[in-house]
């Protein structure tokens, strides 16, 4: 089990007037979630490239829809950078149709493998040897790769110590009054990275636990707050309303 060491940090952003999560709060949240759920073994994928494909395809859809597309690509032996680059656009789009926005996603996959070839000779190993900050900027320059997708690629496929912020993360922090809706992706990412040591396995586990909590308890509609492992950490006003 990854351990969160003691770190000192202010929990008030005076420039924005927002109350932020403190390192102690993040530690207790992680400990409670790990005690409730155990290790998550996330992200699902047989290879680093398969994880990258999944990170691109999961944009704006459920993972169950992505799994269908991944199975289609595996069946057709298309889960390599060279195969994705060589396959026709129309065929690729048909195979990933279940993931939604399939033409756009086929284009994104094509753009990524072309980037990989032009910048790193098609080698993921060479790409992931690039310093984290440099590689993150390069990934963000690729069509269709935004911050969440770039960070998922870095963390889950490349084992780089970056924290992934998704809708589950934001919803949980906002409901617990640890972040505000006005805070950007980068601000919330930095909140975790400045409070929690830069350790890829820890970031992996913490984010995976948040995802599970978001799916099972901290749902957009009909949240199961009273059953959630983090119920006792909710603000008292919210606990009283449940």
What is the pTM assigned to this prediction?
0.88
Residue 37: predicted pLDDT: 96
Residue 194: predicted pLDDT: 84
Does the domain at residues 48-157 carry the CATH identifier 1.10.150.650? Answer: no
Please list the alpha-helical segments (H only) found in the chain: 23-37, 48-57, 63-75, 81-86, 89-95, 102-120, 124-128, 132-140, 147-152, 167-175, 185-195, 200-216, 236-241
Residue 86: predicted pLDDT: 98
Tracing tokens 């790409």 back to the chain, one arrives at 127
Residues in the chain with pLDDT values less than 50: 3-19
Residue 16: predicted pLDDT: 40
Q: What is the pLDDT of residues 132-157, one digit of tens each?
A: 999 999 999 999 999 999 999 999 99
């Amino acid at each position: 089990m990854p351990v969160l060491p003691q770190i000192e940090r202010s929990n008030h952003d005076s420039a924005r007037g927002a109350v932020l999560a403190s390192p102690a709060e993040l530690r207790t949240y992680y400990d409670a979630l790990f005690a409730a759920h155990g290790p998550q073994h996330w992200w699902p994928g047989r290879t680093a490239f398969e994880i990258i494909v999944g990170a691109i395809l999961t944009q704006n859809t459920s993972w169950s829809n992505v799994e269908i597309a991944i199975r289609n690509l595996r069946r057709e032996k298309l889960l390599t950078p060279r195969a994705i680059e060589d396959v026709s656009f129309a065929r690729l789009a048909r195979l990933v149709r279940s993931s939604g926005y399939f033409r756009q996603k086929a284009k994104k996959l094509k753009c990524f493998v072309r980037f990989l070839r032009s910048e790193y000779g098609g080698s993921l190993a060479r790409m992931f040897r690039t310093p984290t900050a440099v590689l993150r900027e390069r990934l963000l320059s690729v069509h269709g790769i935004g911050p969440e997708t770039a960070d998922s690629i870095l963390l889950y496929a490349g084992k780089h110590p970056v924290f992934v912020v998704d809708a589950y993360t934001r919803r949980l922090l906002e409901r617990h009054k640890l972040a505000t809706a006005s805070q950007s992706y980068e601000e919330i990412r930095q909140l975790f990275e400045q409070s929690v040591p830069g350790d890829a396995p820890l970031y992996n586990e913490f984010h995976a636990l948040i995802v599970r909590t978001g799916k099972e308890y901290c749902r957009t509609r009909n949240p199961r707050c009273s059953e959630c492992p983090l119920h006792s950490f909710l603000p008292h006003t919210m606990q009283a309303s449940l």
